[in-house]
A = this chain, B = another copy of it.
Amino acid sequence: MSDAIRITGATRLYPIIGDPIAQVRSPEVFSARFAAAGTPAVCIPVHVPSERFETIVPELMALGNVDGLIATVPFKPRMLRFADRLGRAAQTVGALNALRREADGSWTGDMFDGMGFVHGAKSKGERLAERRVQLFGAGGAGSAIACGLAEAGVKSIGVIDQDVAKAQALVDKLTRAFPNCDVSVTREMPAAIDMVVNASPVGMKPGDGLPGDIGRLDPGTLVGDVVILTGPSPMIRHAIECGCRYVDGREMMDGQVDALLAFFADVARPR
């Protein structure tokens, strides 16, 4: 990752679009990965004012040296209309965070927010198939992670969200997309689970505790948390205290970078 970033006239662009944009880490992370791989490309921050989103995006897609786009808050659901085809995660979640230009000029979109957890877990040698999952949070991150887990073959997913209607909507979507996965709204955490994932914002603020009444976990339980802090989050601290293995927010983000780079690179291969 020590290779210097170069920008020449021939550099290819992967803009990340958001509003605001200054907080995103992708330009640094992806540009370093492109440089390390010898790919003549950079990821650039592009601040798209929300009210101009619909007119700006088609023009960005028309630029001759833009090969892909990354979308962050608040644009992930609004990006759907710009894809000519969608991966299963984007279809199920109703949002996408990556769009790539194919050799024929058409655009393929998919949602990688959930793949980060799957990639992260797999890179730590964790088995996901047949797990019985308890998920906290049915928002954008929770939806994407649930979808990634269902695709990875987990046996069941229980969804808890303060907004029960939101939890139910996610359960309905997952049930349609993944009929072999047993998905349901849960009010409290059942005993027979072997995986807990926090996809809620609980844990971000100082003084936050756990996202629900989790209790002591069996050491065989795999724990995941989207929260990124400089030290371990409350959820990850709890996992450590119970002797559980875990995937933390930063590992999820690294996993998502791997998944996104593989998606962008895949365009070169005949499809």
Contact = CB atoms under 8 A, between A and B. Distances in A.
B44 A11 contact: yes
A44 B63 CA distance: 12
Interface stretch (A23-31, A84-92, A218-226): A23-31
Q: Interface residues of A: mostly helix, strand, loop or mixed?
A: loop
Nearest to A25: B9
A26 B11 CA distance: 12
A52 B47 CA distance: 21
- Counting every copy of the chain, the complex holds 2
Interface string A21-52: 11111111001000000000011111111001
A230 interface: no
Nearest to A42: B7
A268 interface: no
A63 B48 contact: yes
Contacts of A21: 9, 64-65
A64 B52 CA distance: 11
Contacts of A64: 19, 21, 47-49
A45 B11 contact: yes
Top 8 closest A-B pairs, CB basis? A47-B64, A9-B24, A59-B59, A10-B22, A47-B65, A7-B27, A56-B59, A9-B45
Interface of A: 4-11, 13, 16, 19, 21-28, 31, 42-49, 52, 55-56, 59-60, 62-65
